[in-house]
Amino acid sequence: MIAQTKLTVPEKFPPFSLSRLLKTVFNPKSGERVAILIDLEDPHDIKDFGFAKNGDLTIQRNAYEVFYKGLNNGALRELSLTGGEMFAYKITGGSNLDLPDLAVATDGTELSLERDIYPNYKLILCISTYSATAPLTAFAKRYGFRGATLHGLNQIILNSGLAVDYDQVSRDAEKLRLGMTRADWVEIDFTYGRDQFSLHLDLGQQEAQKSHGLCRGGPDIANLPAGEIYFVPTSGSGHFPLKFEDGTIGLMTVKGGRIVDSKLLKGNQKTIDEHKRKVESDPATGELGELGFGTQLLPVSGRDIQDEKVLGTLHVATGRSDHLGGHLTPDKFSSKKNATHDDILFAPHKTPEINVPQVRMRRNGETVVLIENFEPAAYMVDLLA
């Protein structure tokens, strides 16, 4: 058993400041023009901010109350920025699906994202229901803007994951990245009841990457909250339990880096059958396109965008990987509606039925333990010292 050092979430975080967040993340230049994007079932509901009357649209209301008003009531002036407009597009229905081109302005004018928005703003903040990191990363590189995706934004995230010092987040992420880069493989042990499973992911000694919240250089998109070390697996084999949204738990069989079969462990057989049909008809949907490790001490927010950044958690993802440096682009799926990037988070609050007794990494001829029972093992703790 590897010795562990218990790390605890801070009791208090600094108060959220939009100006501080934008200054730290982007270090913007005077005069740069900023826009906010939100997603709505009917993007025309943005006219005269009509959507803000709907109490169910908490993400979009946070975009309006905190970001739109924050920009136009002081942050633009404080940071010498221009713009501050808000636009809506139709909700995509899936994580990292390509965005529709139609955008609607707050006066009801219909616009084109590619013609009217992307080329004309230097900073774009996307506060949405579903992640838009993958498509916006591609558009940023094409049109030369920088930006951030903040899907699932809620009050806990505002008070913690977006209130931290991202210079420190970046420093900590780099410490962990340097201690994990060029790994040969990672093995993850799982238990479900009395059953034990293991997933082996080959990493091919690739350079580890970090999501660290700073976007100060060329065209790029920061995913906020940030704080993650990630890889795009080169292959993989074994088994892992997957918890579906309806609570069903299935056992996934992985060969050649892809899910090739699944069977029911608990719940609804129909859910498993539908998943099997999807993977069989569109094999790209089962490809494991990411292995990620959280780097921050943050409270559980109930949103994976923050909870996957918590130190001691890990996630694998299926599907699209081009925004992470992988090869899987939307055109490689049988159907464009399947071209999602779906994170599968393993954490005590999210998957209480599933434990991760140990995560091991092979690197530089040595095997080290990274995580035990959702706590960082001594190796990771020492890297952060």
Mean pLDDT for the stretch of residues 355-363? 98
Domain ranges (residues) in the chain: 18-159, 166-384
Q: pLDDT tens digits, residue range 211-254? A: 999 999 999 999 999 999 999 999 999 999 999 999 999 999 99
Q: Which helix (H) or strand (E) holds 25?
A: helix 18-26
Q: Are 19 and 34 in contact (CB under 8 A)?
A: no
Mean pLDDT for the stretch of residues 137-155? 97
5 falls in which pLDDT band (50, 70, 90)? Answer: low
Q: Tell me, what's the pLDDT at 334? A: 94
356 falls in which pLDDT band (50, 70, 90)? Answer: very high
Q: What percentage of residues in the chain have a pLDDT greater than 70?
A: 98
Q: pLDDT tens digits, residue range 295-335? A: 999 999 999 999 999 999 999 999 999 999 999 999 999 99
Beta-carbon contacts of residue 258 (< 8 Å; ≥ 6 apart): 236, 279, 283, 286, 287, 288
Max CA separation in the chain (angstroms) = 62
Q: pLDDT tens digits, residue range 177-199? A: 999 999 999 999 999 999 999 99
7 falls in which pLDDT band (50, 70, 90)? Answer: confident
Amino acid identity, position 109: T
Q: Are 209 and 177 in contact (CB under 8 A)?
A: yes
270 falls in which pLDDT band (50, 70, 90)? Answer: very high
Mean pLDDT for the stretch of residues 327-354? 95
Q: Tell me, what's the pLDDT at 8? A: 87
Take residue 58 and report the two structure tokens written for it: 């908490």
CA distance 87 to 39: 9
Q: Tell me, what's the pLDDT at 342? A: 93
Task: Using the predicted structure, report yes or no on whether residue 1 has a pLDDT greater than 80.
Answer: no
Residue 279's closest CA among 295, 310, 257, 249?
Answer: 257
> How far is the CA of 292 from the CAs of 60, 206, 234, 300, 307, in angstroms?
27, 14, 14, 17, 12
